[in-house]
Structure 1
Amino acid sequence: MNRRRLPRVAARTVLIVGEGDAEEVFLRYLKGLYVERGSGVAVTIKNARGKGAGHVVDYARRQAMNAQYDVVAALLDTDTGWTDAARKMAKQASIQVLPCDPCLEALLLAVKDEAIDGKTTDQLKRAFERRFGCSASEMDWTRHLDIALVDRKAGEHPVLGQLIQTFIRVDVAR
């Protein structure tokens, strides 16, 4: 049987490293919203298992050396290890940093119009658990965020906007 084969098109490859479990859960949810099968974008999500922003950047750098990615990004908290050395390492390795100040829970609470100003990381994590009834790593985002809300809030929260662009951008950043 003579089948016509369509030419293969190389997918745009994206590596996004999250600092911990909460970032991984959130990234996987966003990937499900924005990256369709056959879209020409292949997104790999990795978990750096904590240890601060410097470790996340270093982990992303090491993972990027294992395979060729068009875009490498790191979603991290700025409360621990976000130093000039970490910034320099990210710049030298061409890693797009998506900093949550001071933590991911602050961004997620702000998206849901909760007050976050002047609160510490611990206060924000407790406020998150009170608001949603669980930690960010246990969150079922399908119940609390839909694509319309995420799109609307992306303009108000630059990190969220950059993250979405990382998933859907068709140009090659490197």
Structure 2
Amino acid sequence: MGKRPLRKTNRTVLIVVEGETEEAFISHLKKRYYHRGMRLSVRIRNAHGHGPQGIIDKLKSVAKTEDFSQRIAVLDADIPLTAAEARWLRQEKVDTIVSVPAIEATLLTIHGKPAPDTTEACKKELQRHAPGDPTELSYHERHFPHDKLEQARGKVAVLDALIAAVSTE
């Protein structure tokens, strides 16, 4: 009887997000682009709106109990990184995906709408074009169907990076 071939391990990805909207949107992307049988394991953790420092704290706490092939911080640019935060992310080899000024701007861009300069204005504009609660998965299923996401691919860098994070083995 021959030796059994070694089983390949899955690539593991930790995505830490700033808030509920990011968590719901990335969960939606995972549902659309991740398929059973992929050699990939994606975990999404939420820092619950505590800005870059909250994301770093969450990365540190999760790293104590689990090991990941890749760690990604999904940030809004409305709260800038301090030099110490940027240095820590670099030293720990954490990839960053930044929405300017916030995730709502990325969502507007996917819809082909120009994004205002402030987070509050982006939130109001998003409600005008896609009314509902963006913290719920059903919102993203309704307003960001697969064909709309595919149309925006290649044009919206944040979307491309997020899709790659949840679907690249």
Determine if the TM-score, normalized by the shorter chain, exceeds 0.5: yes
Q: Which residue of 2 aligns with 1:122?
A: 120
Correspondence 1:62 to 2:61 = yes
Q: What SS does the corresponding residue of 2:22 show, helix, strand or coil?
A: helix
Q: Which residue of 1 aligns with 2:10?
A: 11
Output the aligned Cα RMSD.
Answer: 1.9
Alignment gaps of 5+ in structure 2: none
Q: Report how far residue 110 of structure 1 moved.
A: 0.8
Q: How does 1:134-173 map to 2 (within 5 A)?
A: 134-138=132-136, 140-170=139-169
1:52·1:80 contact (CA, 8 Å) conserved in 2?
yes
Quote the sequence identity (%): 30
Mapped to 2, the partners of 1:149 and 1:142 lie a distance apart of 11
Gaps of 5+ in 1: none
| CA deviation string 1:38-85 (max 9, x = no partner) | 211111111111111232133223313321111111111111142322
Counterpart amino acid of residue 60 in structure 1? L
Greater relative contact order (Cα < 8 A, sep 6+): 2
Q: How many residues end up aligned between the 2 structures?
A: 165
The alignment's TM-score, normalised by the length of structure 2, stands at: 0.88
